[in-house]
C-alpha cells in the first residue's frame, strides 16, 4: 500500500472587521416611490377634505350625460361631477348620482333646481350652443330654503329666471294661453321689461295661470292699476275713424308676447310680489273701466240665428253692454214651435255711474224699474253688424210701438222680450208677396193675352184698310167741305167785325135800350114815392 501524502493545510485568513458608517444615506432609488406615496396621500386627503355631499337627480332621459365626465355647473363654474348613471326600477327615468364639491353644499337646499343644458330653440331664443363642442352638462340653481335633501327631480326645460335674478314675480290669470310660451317677452311702451317664466292650468280647469318676471328696475312700473293684455300677432280695427293696425314688435307677431300699461298713466302704489292680475285679450278690453257685477239675461228669438256666435256684442245705442255666452234651441210643445234661446251677460254699470247711483237711491225695486222699462218698449233685437261677413249682434233698445207683453221679472235668469228686426219683417213681407204672386194664373193670363194680341192684330189690319179707303174716297169730300167752311167763317168774320153795318145797328139799338131802361127806372122810382099819381096824375112842384 502506498501511503497517501498529506496535503499541507491552507493558511487561515483573518476575519475582517466591519465598521458601520455614522452618516448612512438611503439609496436614491427609494426616493421616487416615497415621494409618489406622499403625493398620493396628500391628494387623497385633499379629496376627502374637499369632498362635498352626494346627491341624486332624476331625469326622463340620460341624453348627453356620461358618468365620470359630465360636469355640474353654476354660472359656468364646476361645482360637481356625475359619478354614476343608472335606470330606475320601473325604467321610467334615469338616476344621476352627483358628487358635489364642499363649497357647493348650499345646492342641497330643498328648493334647489337642476336641469340638463343642451342646444334648445325656444321663444326666448336659442340657448346651449356651447354644448355642441363641449358636450352637455347639468345646470344648477341654488335654493334659499334652510331645509336640505339629497334627492331631486330634474327640470326638463331650463328655467328662464333664476333665483339670483333681480326683479319681481307676478301672476296673470287668463282664459287661455293663446300663442304665449315660456320666455315670451313682456313689453312696456314697446320696451322689453320681462318674460313669461312658467304657466299651468287652474285647478278647476277653467283657465290658466301664468307666472311672469319683471326685470329690475322696471318692476316699479307695475302698480295696482296696471293692465296686461295679449300683444301677440296683429290687432286690426276698422271703425268710423278709419283703419288701425297695432303690434308691439316682430317677435310678438311670430312668438307671442304681453304688453302692460296703466290707464291714463296712473300706476298707483307699487304692486307687491306675487300680485295677481287679469290678462285681457286686447288693449281695448284691458283699458275699459271696471264693469262691476254682471247680470245674466235670457232672450228667446223666433228666427234664424245664423251669423250669431258666442262672444258677439250686446249693444245699447252704440254702447257695448256685454256679450253672448251661449246659443241653443228649445221645442215648445204648447205652441209646437222651435224657440232659439240666447244667454247673454250684461254689465249695467256700463250705462253710466249716475244711473247706477240713481238706482241705489230710487224707492223702487230693480224688478219694478225693469217692468217699467219693458212697458215703455224695452226689447232685444238681432241686427246685422257686418254686411260682408254676415255677423249679427244683439241690440237692446226701446220700441214704443211694440206690442205689450207680460214678463215675470222675478225669474232667474232674467228673461227679456224680443222683437224681430226690420230685415226679417221685409223678408216676411216679401215671402207673403211671393205666396200671393204664386196664386196668380200666369199661364191662363198668358193664353188670354196671346188671344187678345191676335184679335188686336186683326183689328189693326182692318183699321189700316179703313184708313186707305178714307184716304181714297172721303178725303176729297172732306177737303171740299173744309173750303166751304172757310168761306162761311170768312163771311161771318166780316159780319161780326167792328165796322160792319150790323155791328153799328146793334150798338144804336143797345144805346136806345139803355136810355129806355133809365127812363123806366126813373118812372119806377117816382111811382114808388107817389103811387097816387096813377089816379091824380103828376103834380107840379110848388115853388
Note the pLDDT tens digit of each residue in 57-85.
999 988 888 888 888 988 888 888 998 99
Alpha-carbon distances of 353 from 43, 91, 296, 356, rounded to whole Å: 80, 64, 20, 5
Arithmetic mean of pLDDT, 356-363: 64
Domain boundary, last residue among 127, 153, 179: 153
Do 314 and 418 sit in the same domain of this protein?
yes
Q: Which residues pair with 259 in a beta bridge?
A: 187, 229
Do 233 and 315 sit in the same domain of this protein?
no
- Is 93 inside a domain boundary? yes
Q: Which domain holds residue 53?
A: 37-153
Alpha-carbon distances of 209 from 197, 253, 280, 508, rounded to whole Å: 11, 22, 13, 123
Do 148 and 172 sit in the same domain of this protein?
no
Arithmetic mean of pLDDT, 282-311: 82
Phi-psi region of 205 (alpha: psi -120 to 50; beta: other; left: phi over 0): left
**Residue 271 · residue 222 · CB < 8 Å:** yes
The residue with greater pLDDT, 1 or 169, is 169
Percent of the chain at pLDDT above 90?
Answer: 7
Q: Residue 489 pLDDT > 80, yes or no?
A: no
Residue the block writes with cell 502506498: 2
Q: Residue 322 pLDDT > 50, yes or no?
A: yes
CA–CA distance, 375 with 399 (Å, rounded to integer): 10
Q: Which residues lie closer than 8 Å to 481 by C-beta, 6 or more apart?
A: none
- Is 14 inside a domain boundary? no
pLDDT of residue 255: 59
Mutual angle of helices 501-529 and 475-496, in 10-degree steps: 50
Cell digits for 176?
A: 287661455
**Residue 125 · residue 183 · CB < 8 Å:** yes
Do 306 and 428 sit in the same domain of this protein?
yes
pLDDT of residue 380: 87
**Residue 337 · residue 380 · CB < 8 Å:** no
pLDDT of residue 222: 92
- Is 28 inside a domain boundary? no
**Residue 103 · residue 118 · CB < 8 Å:** no
Give the pLDDT confidence of 465-475 residue by residue, as tens digits. Answer: 777 776 776 66
Domain boundary, last residue among 253, 286, 319: 286
Residue the block writes with cell 244683439: 394
pLDDT of residue 293: 77
Do 360 and 244 sit in the same domain of this protein?
no
Do 60 and 189 sit in the same domain of this protein?
no
The region of weakest confidence among 211-220, 284-293, 311-320 is 284-293
Q: DSSP code of 269? A: S
The residue with greater pLDDT, 5 or 186, is 186
**Residue 215 · residue 193 · CB < 8 Å:** yes
- Is 25 inside a domain boundary? no
The residue with greater pLDDT, 442 or 205, is 205
Arithmetic mean of pLDDT, 24-50: 72
The residue with greater pLDDT, 423 or 250, is 423
Q: DSSP code of 351? A: G
Q: Residue 514 pLDDT > 90, yes or no?
A: no
Confidence bin at 173 (pLDDT 50/70/90): very high
- Name the CA radius of gyration of the chain, rounded: 58
Q: Which residues pair with 297 in a beta bridge?
A: 344, 414
Percent of the chain at pLDDT above 70?
Answer: 76
Arithmetic mean of pLDDT, 135-155: 86
Q: Which of helix, strand or coil describes residue 230? A: strand
Do 173 and 129 sit in the same domain of this protein?
no
CA–CA distance, 255 with 252 (Å, rounded to integer): 5
Domain boundary, last residue among 249, 269, 286: 286
The region of weakest confidence among 1-10, 89-98, 112-121, 302-311 is 1-10
Q: Residue 499 pLDDT > 50, yes or no?
A: yes
Q: Which residues lie closer than 8 Å to 295 by C-beta, 6 or more apart?
A: 345, 346, 347, 348, 414
- Is 173 inside a domain boundary? yes
CA–CA distance, 184 with 251 (Å, rounded to integer): 9
The region of weakest confidence among 46-55, 357-366, 528-537 is 357-366
Give the pLDDT confidence of 19-30 residue by residue, as tens digits. Answer: 555 555 555 666
Confidence bin at 111 (pLDDT 50/70/90): confident
pLDDT of residue 246: 58
Give the pLDDT confidence of 220-271 residue by residue, as tens digits. Answer: 999 988 999 988 755 555 544 444 555 555 555 555 788 998 888 888 889 9
User: Count of domains in the chain?
Assistant: 4
Question: With 0-12 CB in 10 A as exposed, 13-18 as middle and 19+ as buried, what is 114?
Answer: buried
CA–CA distance, 301 with 341 (Å, rounded to integer): 6
Do 71 and 137 sit in the same domain of this protein?
yes
Do 195 and 273 sit in the same domain of this protein?
yes
Q: Which residues lie closer than 8 Å to 471 by C-beta, 6 or more apart?
A: none
Q: Taking the chain, what is the end-to-end CA distance rounded to the nearest angstrom?
A: 267
Confidence bin at 172 (pLDDT 50/70/90): very high
CA–CA distance, 248 with 95 (Å, rounded to integer): 44
Do 201 and 265 sit in the same domain of this protein?
yes
CA–CA distance, 468 with 454 (Å, rounded to integer): 22
pLDDT of residue 281: 85
Q: Residue 38 pLDDT > 80, yes or no?
A: yes
CA–CA distance, 419 with 400 (Å, rounded to integer): 12
CA dihedral 404, 408, 409, 413 (to 10 degrees): -120
Q: Residue 450 pLDDT > 90, yes or no?
A: no
- Is 17 inside a domain boundary? no
- Is 267 inside a domain boundary? yes
The three-state (H, E, C) secondary structure of 384-404, written as one string: ECCCCCCCEEEEEEECCCCCC
CA–CA distance, 205 with 188 (Å, rounded to integer): 30
Cell digits for 155?
A: 327640470
The residue with greater pLDDT, 400 or 130, is 400
Q: What is the mean pLDDT of the chain?
A: 78
Tell me: cis bond preceding 52? Omega within 30 of 0 counts: no
**Residue 178 · residue 130 · CB < 8 Å:** no
Arithmetic mean of pLDDT, 367-393: 80
Do 369 and 399 sit in the same domain of this protein?
yes
Amino acid at each position: 500500500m502506498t501511503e497517501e501524502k498529506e496535503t499541507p493545510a491552507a493558511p487561515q485568513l483573518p476575519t475582517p472587521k466591519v465598521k458601520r458608517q455614522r452618516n448612512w444615506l438611503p439609496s436614491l432609488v427609494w426616493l421616487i416611490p416615497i415621494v409618489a406615496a406622499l403625493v398620493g396621500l396628500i391628494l387623497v386627503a385633499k379629496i376627502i377634505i374637499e369632498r362635498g355631499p352626494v346627491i341624486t337627480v332624476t331625469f326622463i332621459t340620460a341624453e348627453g350625460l356620461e358618468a365620470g365626465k359630465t360636469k355640474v355647473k353654476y354660472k359656468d363654474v364646476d361645482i360637481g361631477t356625475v359619478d354614476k348613471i343608472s335606470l330606475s326600477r320601473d325604467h321610467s327615468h334615469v338616476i344621476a348620482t352627483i358628487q358635489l364639491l364642499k363649497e357647493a353644499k348650499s345646492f342641497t337646499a330643498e328648493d334647489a333646481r337642476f336641469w340638463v343644458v343642451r342646444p334648445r330653440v325656444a321663444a326666448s331664443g336659442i340657448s346651449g350652443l356651447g354644448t355642441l363642442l363641449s358636450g352637455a352638462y347639468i345646470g344648477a340653481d341654488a335654493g334659499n330654503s334652510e331645509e336640505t335633501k339629497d334627492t331631486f327631480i330634474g327640470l326638463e326645460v331650463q328655467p328662464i329666471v333664476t333665483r339670483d335674478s333681480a326683479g319681481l314675480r307676478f301672476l296673470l290669470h287668463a282664459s287661455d294661453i293663446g300663442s304665449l310660451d315660456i320666455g315670451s317677452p313682456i313689453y312696456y311702451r314697446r320696451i322689453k321689461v320681462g318674460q313669461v317664466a312658467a304657466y299651468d292650468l287652474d285647478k278647476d280647469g277653467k283657465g290658466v295661470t301664468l307666472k311672469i318676471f319683471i326685470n329690475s328696475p322696471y318692476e316699479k312700473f307695475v302698480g295696482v292699476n296696471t293692465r296686461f293684455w295679449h300683444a301677440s300677432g296683429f290687432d286690426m280695427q276698422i271703425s268710423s275713424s278709419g283703419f288701425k293696425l297695432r303690434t308691439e314688435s316682430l317677435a310678438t307677431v311670430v312668438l307671442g308676447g304681453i304688453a302692460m300699461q296703466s290707464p291714463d298713466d296712473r300706476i298707483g302704489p307699487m304692486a307687491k310680489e306675487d300680485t295677481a292680475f287679469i290678462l285681457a285679450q286686447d288693449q281695448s278690453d284691458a283699458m275699459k273701466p271696471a264693469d262691476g257685477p254682471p247680470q245674466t239675461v235670457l232672450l228667446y228669438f223666433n228666427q234664424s240665428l245664423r251669423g250669431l256666435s258666442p262672444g258677439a256684442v250686446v249693444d245699447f245705442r252704440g254702447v257695448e253692454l256685454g256679450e253672448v255666452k251661449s246659443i241653443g234651441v228649445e221645442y215648445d210643445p204648447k205652441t209646437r214651435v222651435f224657440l232659439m234661446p240666447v244667454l247673454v251677460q250684461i254689465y249695467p254699470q256700463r250705462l253710466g255711474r249716475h244711473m247706477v247711483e240713481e238706482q241705489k237711491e230710487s224707492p223702487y225695486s230693480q224688478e219694478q224699474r225693469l217692468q217699467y222699462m219693458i212697458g215703455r218698449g224695452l226689447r232685444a233685437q238681432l241686427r246685422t253688424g257686418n254686411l260682408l261677413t254676415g255677423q249679427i249682434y244683439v241690440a237692446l233698445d226701446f220700441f214704443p210701438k211694440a206690442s205689450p207683453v207680460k214678463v215675470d221679472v222675478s225669474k232667474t235668469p232674467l228673461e227679456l222680450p224680443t222683437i224681430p228686426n226690420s230685415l226679417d219683417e221685409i223678408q216676411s213681407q216679401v215671402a207673403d208677396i211671393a205666396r200671393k204672386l204664386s196664386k196668380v194664373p200666369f199661364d191662363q193670363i198668358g193664353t188670354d193675352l196671346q188671344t187678345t194680341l191676335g184679335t188686336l192684330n186683326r183689328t189693326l189690319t182692318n183699321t189700316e184698310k179703313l184708313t186707305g179707303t178714307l184716304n181714297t174716297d172721303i178725303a176729297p169730300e172732306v177737303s171740299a167741305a173744309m173750303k166751304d167752311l172757310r168761306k162761311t167763317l170768312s163771311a161771318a168774320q166780316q159780319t161780326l167785325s167792328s165796322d160792319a153795318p150790323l155791328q153799328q145797328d146793334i150798338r144804336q139799338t143797345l144805346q136806345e135800350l139803355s136810355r129806355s131802361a133809365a127812363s123806366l127806372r126813373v118812372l119806377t122810382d117816382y111811382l114808388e114815392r107817389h103811387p097816387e099819381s096813377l089816379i091824380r096824375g103828376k103834380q107840379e112842384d110848388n115853388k
